[in-house]
Each structure stands twice: as C-alpha cells, then as structure tokens.
Structure 1
Amino acid sequence: MAALRFLYDCDPGADDALAMLLALGRRDAIEMIGVTCVAGNVGLAPCLNNARRILELVGRQDIPVYAGAARPIMASRGRVSIMHGSDGLAGSTLPPPVMELAGGHAANEISRIARAEGKLHICATGPLTNLALALILDPELPNFIEAITLMGGAAFCPGNTTPLGEFNFVVDPHAAAIVFEADIPITMLGLDVTRQALVSAEMIRRVQEIGTPIADEVAHLLINYGSKDPCLHDPSAIAWMLDRSIFTSVEAHVSILTEAGPAAGQVLAAVSERHLAGRQPNCTVVTGVDAQAFEDLFVEALHRYP
C-alpha cells in the first residue's frame, strides 16, 4: 500500500517536533510532503526555525517549509505556551537552520498543494489560522481536501489553558470554528485522548538505549518538555494516522464557541440523538488510546532511522 501523503501544519513546539520525528521515521506508511508553520507555542520566527532544525536533523531538507500566520484572525497578537522553553524546543542544542524557507504564504500554498495532489490529507497540530485563511481565500478548497487530522480541543474534559479550552483552540477560536464549519472530514485528537498518552520513565529509557543522534534529541525533548507537560499531544495525531486500531473514538457534531471570554475556544460535542437535534456528525472525536501500544509505536519508529 502506498504511503499516505500529507501536509503538516504546525507550531513547533517540542511536541510538534516529536510528532515530526515520529512521522519522518515512518516513511513506509506516511509521507510528509510539506510543512506550513503558524504562530502558537512560540512566535512564528522560532516555529519556522524549529521546523527546519528538525528536518535538517533527519536529513529531510527536501521537504519545503512555508511561513504562515503570525497572529490569530481576530486578535492583534496571540498567546504562547510556557511549556516549550524560550526557543520552543526545550533548550535544544540543535544548530540554527541552514535550509531556506520556501516561497509563498502557507494559506496560499495549502490551496495550491491541495489542487496539485487532487485530494490532500492535512495533519494540523497548532492553531488553525492557516487552514482557516486558506478556506476563506479559496471557497472551493474543501473539494480538494480528503481529510483533516488535528490535535486540539477538549470535548468531554476540562481545558488546559482555560477551564473550558485547549491551547490551540483558545489561541484562535474563530479559525477553529471556520475549519469545523467547512464540511471536511475531521478527526480531532484533543485533551480527552492526549492526557492518556504520557511520557514515562520507561519510554525515556527505551529511547536513550537506541543511542543515535536522533534518539538523543528525542530523549532531550521527552525529559525537558515532559517535566512540564507529560502529555504527548501532537504525536497522538501522527499515531492515529499510523494505527487507528490502538484508539477509541465517537462520532459527534462539533462546534466551537468564539465569543470573547472564558468560554472562547470551548468545544461543544454533540453525541446523543437528543443533543444532535437532527444534525449529522461532522467529526470523529478520539477519546481513548492504548498507552503501551502508543509507546511501542513511537519507540519503534525511532529504530527505523539509520
């Protein structure tokens, strides 16, 4: 079976970096064809640097990196996460990037790449600003997107940035609302499942034993980022693309609250017939994961690097 080709929209971020390293180790199953960056975990400039630092680490300078939105749609500036350190990679010693950025704004490039692919799969693990802008600029774009797998939201559990909201959706709730209203098949891996995919001492030990430069960098990220947030948020989205059998999920109609205030970015996930009120589900909400199988999948991918 041919590898699933996908565009990665992200805000690297330590857990985005871990997600990239998981994906890039499994070229047999999924093939990253481009990276579009958005401000989120850190500002846009360090996100762009970090994406290229990771690609250079694994020798994948052939994958283009595009600059996207530096702020949310309806705010003059976003918020950043304190979990990733000042550089976004938890104080990594990776050198500054050498590879050049690709030309074009991420929103335009999403549209161009989707048309070139015919049916594009997108994995998004940051605020959804780039995707929302692409959908605004190109109303026909949903016809060229096969599916979106995203990390974001908190459907049936408390938030991590506000009591009701997860970071990515709180940063740009309007963007999230636009994406969920676009009639595109969406799989959402939010805090409901990512809080079950945890960094463990055993996982760190297994990664350290591999003994390659790539595994050493992964161990650094797991130790330094995991000490602040032990949840492997963004790698969960990649793991879903690799092996859905280790997850559980429900079909729901998801909408996003956008009104300013403590509920901005909250997910309303209707599952029961009564709550659906005649609406059809628009999202697969992932709710559980086999944590040991997830760890095995992650570690095995690192063994595949030369």
Structure 2
Amino acid sequence: MRNFLIDTDTASDDAVAIMMALAAPDVRVLGLTTVAGNVGLEQATRNALLTAEICNSDVPVFAGADRPLTRPHEDAHWFHGKDGLGDRGYPAPKRAPERESTVEAIPRLAEAEPGLTLVTLGPLTNIALALGRDPKLAERIGRCVVMGGAPNCEGNVTPAAEYNIWVDPEAARAVFRSKVPIEMVGWHVSRGPSVLTDDEIAAIEALGTAKAKFAIESNSRARDAYRVQTGEVGLSLADPTAMAVALDRSVGLSWSRHRVAIESESELTRGMTVVDRLNVNADANNAHVWNAAAGEHEGADILWTLDSGRFKAMLKAALAA
C-alpha cells in the first residue's frame, strides 16, 4: 500500500480529487489536512468530512491554518460558491475533525510513514508551517505533488498567477525553497483536452453512484464560472489532474526540472511562478532529471502536458467504484 497525505482547501474539485484517492485500491490515505483557501477553514474542514462520508471512509481530518502566513485570507466563493460545493445545501457531516492540529499531524504522520506521498490541493500554508516546526520533515516525504502555479502561461486569478500560489505566496516560496521533492502540476494541464465535455459529464452522471452525482452536482457552479472565466465550455478539474499524477506519474507526458521562483512583493505579479524553461540563467537546477546525489534540491519537476484520455478514464473509474 502507498501512503498518501492530502492537504486541501476543500471545494468542489478538491472533493473529486479526494474521492479519486479514496477509491484507489493500492492507496491508504493517512489523513486530510485542511487549510483556508477556496473557502474558510471551518467550511473546508466540513467539506472534507462530508466528502469522506460520501465515500464511506473514516479517514481522519485535521484542521489547519485559517489564514495565510502574513496576509488576509481571500476566498474563491465566486468560482465555487459560498460553501465551496456549489451552494447545493448539503447536510452537515456526521463526524468532527480530530483534536490534533495539522501542524502537529503532518510531521507525526511523515515520521510514522517515511516516504509518504504528500498531495497539496490548496495554498501551501500548512506545509510551510509544518516545515518550520520540523526541519527534518522534507526528507521524510517521498513525493510532494503540488496543484498550483502557472508556469509560462496565464493565471486564473491574475494575468500572472494561479490561485493557490497567489493566496499565500510567502508559504509557497518557503515550500519551493525547501528540500521537499516537488512535482508541480499547474493550472494549465486541467485546460484544453483535459476539460470534461458535456457528453463526458453526462456519462459520469449516468454511472448512478452517489460519488458521481456529488462530483458533478457540487461542481455546477464551477462549471459555469469556468465558462465566464475562460469562455470555454465544459468542466475543468484542476485538483483531480494533480491527483491523477499522484496516483500514476506516467499520466504526465512531458516533464522538465527547474528552479521555481515565487514572487511575493510585487502586487502586479504576486504569486507568479517564474520558471526558467530555457535555462537562460544557466542554473544547475534547470535539469531534465533531478540528481538527488548531487544535492540539487531547489528545483521542482514541472509537468507540461497530461494524458487527458487516461486522466478521464481514471476519474470515471474512481466515481464508478
């Protein structure tokens, strides 16, 4: 069994990603850690518990940071709805979160299960705080799949930045500068051929499972918002693309390794993920393969293209289970 730890600002696409992980037969989800992002912390925690309930899972849920490291929290209600799940009036979950905080739980779980896969679906506040608490945390993480960033493309919250990085750029900078082995899955891979068409959405609804119904229904607001945002028709699921990569890295078709610089001072480019794809800076971290023995820790593996057909097949299979 592979051990996963999922950090989430649980809104509609986060919920689908969580369902994919919980459906994977060879994955044990050690916990869901929640953070303020798409919605406030209390709502994100509630949504994580509800998602687990729909999956008949008792995975522990730990509440984390209720605001970015140094900035006020700015939500994404306009995209996901005030409750993050399309404002469909879902009932309260039956379980409560654990008493242990996220900043305590992440280092403990990583120490207990070294080599775990950390999947981050929201702002990186919890991870930055946990790294500050436990300097050895980074070396206990086998993979860290980050949904975030807009490498060499337009952002979804400003022209320069993707939401998860923009919300807490100071936390993102700390994480990307750490020795955590990051695989960055930017917003761009959830667009184009990765967007679910109307026919593909109908096919998921036709599965008839509670998970399939919840996945499409909770993303109804996001589906409309994506059309307003981009002019494109369909359902874009950023967090599930990252989860697909976490479940099977080979679904990512083209990768390269680069130093990722996070802008945190300029308001114009706040949260920009600056990637030197052409290596114009002649930086040793801009390599095709990460050489751990050489100590090249400051780069991240950047995913450029995704096998969208396999992603959609993985998504459908998880929702049918």
Is the pair's TM-score, using the shorter chain for normalization, greater than 0.5? Answer: yes
Worse-matched range after superposition: 149-158 or 285-294: 285-294
Match of 1:269 among 256, 262, 275: 275
Aligned counterpart in structure 2 of residue 226 of structure 1, from 218, 223, 227: 223
Give the aligned residue type for 1:208: E
The aligned amino acid for 1:134 is A
Alignment equivalent of 1:17, drawn from 15, 18, 27: 15
**Structure 1 gap ranges (5+):** none
Q: CA deviation at 1:262?
A: 1.6
Provide the rounded CA distance (Å) in 2 between the counterparts of 1:118 and 1:284: 21
Q: Deviations over 1:183-240 (max 9, x none)?
A: 1211011122122321211221111111122221122134332222232110011111
Tell me which residue corresponds to 2:51: 54
Name the aligned partner's letter for residue 88 of structure 1: G
The answer as to whether partners of 1:38 and 1:130 remain within 8 angstroms in 2 is yes
Task: Please tell me whether the aligned partners of residues 199 and 222 of structure 1 are also in contact (alpha carbons under 8 angstroms).
Answer: no
Matched, 1:217 2:214: yes
Q: Once the two structures are superposed, what CA deviation does each residue of 1:22-49 show, in whole Å capped at 9, x if it has no partner? A: 22122x1322110000000000110010
Q: How far 1:93 sits from its partner (Å)?
A: 4.1
- Residue 97, structure 1, aligned to residue 93, structure 2: yes
> Following superposition of structure 1 onto structure 2, how do residues 24-63 of structure 1 map, counting pairs within 5 Å?
24-26=22-24, 28-61=25-58, 63=59
In the TM superposition, 1:1-306 aligns within 5 A as 3-26=1-24, 28-61=25-58, 63-75=59-71, 77-81=72-76, 82-196=78-192, 197-229=194-226, 230-248=235-253, 249-281=255-287, 282-304=299-321
RMSD: 1.5
TM norm structure 1? 0.93
Instruction: Deviation per CA, 1:261-295: give whole Å up to 9, x if none.
Output: 12111011123343343345511111112222221
Would the alpha carbon gap of residues 131 and 290 (structure 1) be closer, same or farther in structure 2, given more than 3 Å must change? same
CA contact under 8 A between 1:52 and 1:97: conserved in structure 2? Answer: yes
Paired residue type of 1:7: L
1:285 aligns to what SS in structure 2?
strand
Q: Out of 286-295 and 95-104, give the one that drifted further.
A: 286-295
Other structure's SS at 1:227 match? helix
User: Counterpart of 2:318 in 1: which secondary structure?
Assistant: helix
Preserved CA contact (<8 Å) 2:30 2:109 = no
The question of whether the paired residues in 1 share the 8 Å contact of 2:121 and 2:147 is answered with yes
**Structure 2 vs 1, CA of residues 119 and 56 (structure 1 numbering), >3 Å: closer, same or farther?**
same
Question: For structure 2, which runs of at least 5 residues remain unmatched after alignment?
Answer: 227-234, 288-298
| 2:291 matched residue in structure 1 | none
Shift of 1:120: 2.4
1:260 positional shift:
4.0
Cα deviation digits, residues 147-200 of structure 1 (max 9, x gap): 210100000101111110110111000000000111121101112212232121
- Deviation, 1:134, is 0.6
The one-letter amino acid of 1:48's match is: T
Q: Distance in 2 between matches of 1:112 and 1:186?
A: 20
Letter in 1 for 2:302: V
Residue 230 of structure 2 corresponds to none
Q: Do the aligned residues in 2 keep the contact of 1:192 with 1:286 (CA within 8 Å)?
A: no
Distance in 2 (CA, whole Å) between partners of 1:147 and 1:100 is: 29
Q: Distance in 2 between matches of 1:279 and 1:57?
A: 42
Q: 1:299 to 1:165 in 2, by over 3 A?
A: same
Percentage of pairs with the same residue? 33
| Contact 1:153 1:166 (8 Å CA) reproduced | yes
Query: Structure 1: which amino acid aligns with 2:75?
Result: V
- Aligned partners of 2:166 and 2:135: how far apart in 1? 25
Alpha-carbon separation, structure 2, partners of 1:45 and 1:185: 29
Greater shift after overlay, 271-280 or 14-23?
271-280
